[in-house]
Structure 1
Amino acid sequence: MQVDVEVSDHIARPVGEVAAYAGDPTNAPEWYVNIRSVEWQTEPPVRVGSRMAFVAQFLGRRLAYTYEVVELVPGERLVMETAEGPFPMQTTYTWVPEGTGTRMTLRNTGSPSGFARIAAPVMRRAMHGAMTKDLRRLKTLLEAGR
């Protein structure tokens, strides 16, 4: 069973600013509800092939996984895939000018296996809620001048 969750929000800041902040994995613990830490495994900045180890807390469980950047169009799109971890996942950020600000979309897709496959409907709802909170937090931080 495929899990595919997408959320978006308008952020009243220029595309370049939103993309620079959100697209830097070092900032993830500041705006992602569930991410506890990020450790670069390659030298920053973000580029295709960059790898980062994330530790998150989700549905009461500690998750450790490694993302690899597989696509980067600066200021428009960033795609990362888990290179290691319990749930194969692809995360896509897109940034589009909207009025005087930015429309940011966050999408997570993956194919859970084992017990996670059975729990996919619950996982999908939990992911949607967390991702909605993540974008709200990002919006709040950036609009406050972060």
Structure 2
Amino acid sequence: MDNRRVDVSARRLIVQPPEVVARYAMDWRHDHEWTQGIKRAELSAPGPDGGFGVGAEVTRTAHFLGKRIDYVLRVVAHEPPALLEMESVAGPFPMHVTYRFDATPEGGTTASIRIRGDASRHYRLFAPLMARFVRANIRKDLRDLARHVR
């Protein structure tokens, strides 16, 4: 097992349809409202169609382990209301973020977040701790997402 790899996920049932949940969660202008540690997000490069979609880039400013981190995520899959995948193209460590919004038979949404990355370089020694920290944060993200889409 490579102790530098981080692969964590969390899921939560949200009592709103996927269209409602995804509309809010896939809008980068809301990132700071429900994503732990994000202080600011901006569309730093639009996609080929001029808006948010595959190829678009979002720059996020966050605080992690007491440090300010600026990183850029590029959209690699955008299939509303079911899927949004982004990968880092600039930042302290490579990561791939997947947001899924699956309909439930009751009309709600199973929302899930998966983050995969490589904690090499500066964070290598902290990889196991970082995995626990990231898992706790994405659980809080989903809790806050559910609160915002009531």
What TM-score results when the alignment is normalised by the length of structure 1? 0.94
Alignment of 1:55-70 (within 5 A): 55-70=61-76
Q: Which residue of 2 aligns with 1:116?
A: 123
Residue type matched to 1:23 in 2? M
Residue type matched to 1:29 in 2? H
Give the paired residue count.
143
Tell me the SS of whatever aligns to 1:41. strand
Tell me the SS of whatever aligns to 1:119. helix
In the alignment, the residues of structure 1 paired with residue 16 and residue 65 of structure 2 have an alpha-carbon distance, to the nearest angstrom, of 32
Tell me the SS of whatever aligns to 1:131. helix
Residue 9 in 1 paired to residue 12 in 2? yes
The CA deviation at 1:105 is 0.4
The CA deviation at 1:103 is 0.3
Tell me the SS of whatever aligns to 2:45. coil
Residue 89 in 1 paired to residue 95 in 2? yes
The CA deviation at 1:106 is 0.5
Q: Which residue of 2 aligns with 1:140?
A: 147
Residue 47 in 1 paired to residue 56 in 2? no
Q: Which residue of 2 aligns with 1:71?
A: 77
The CA deviation at 1:80 is 0.2
Residue type matched to 2:98 in 1? T
Listed as ranges, the gaps of 5+ residues in structure 1 are none
Residue 24 in 1 paired to residue 31 in 2? no
Residue type matched to 2:7 in 1? D
Structure 1 segments of 4+ aligned residues over 6 angstroms from their partners: none
Residue type matched to 2:71 in 1? Y
RMSD of aligned Cα (Å): 1.1
In the alignment, the residues of structure 2 paired with residue 45 and residue 23 of structure 1 have an alpha-carbon distance, to the nearest angstrom, of 12
Q: Which residue of 1 aligns with 2:86?
A: 80
The CA deviation at 1:115 is 3.1
Q: Which residue of 2 aligns with 1:106?
A: 113
In the alignment, the residues of structure 1 paired with residue 79 and residue 137 of structure 2 have an alpha-carbon distance, to the nearest angstrom, of 25
Listed as ranges, the gaps of 5+ residues in structure 2 are none
The CA deviation at 1:58 is 1.3
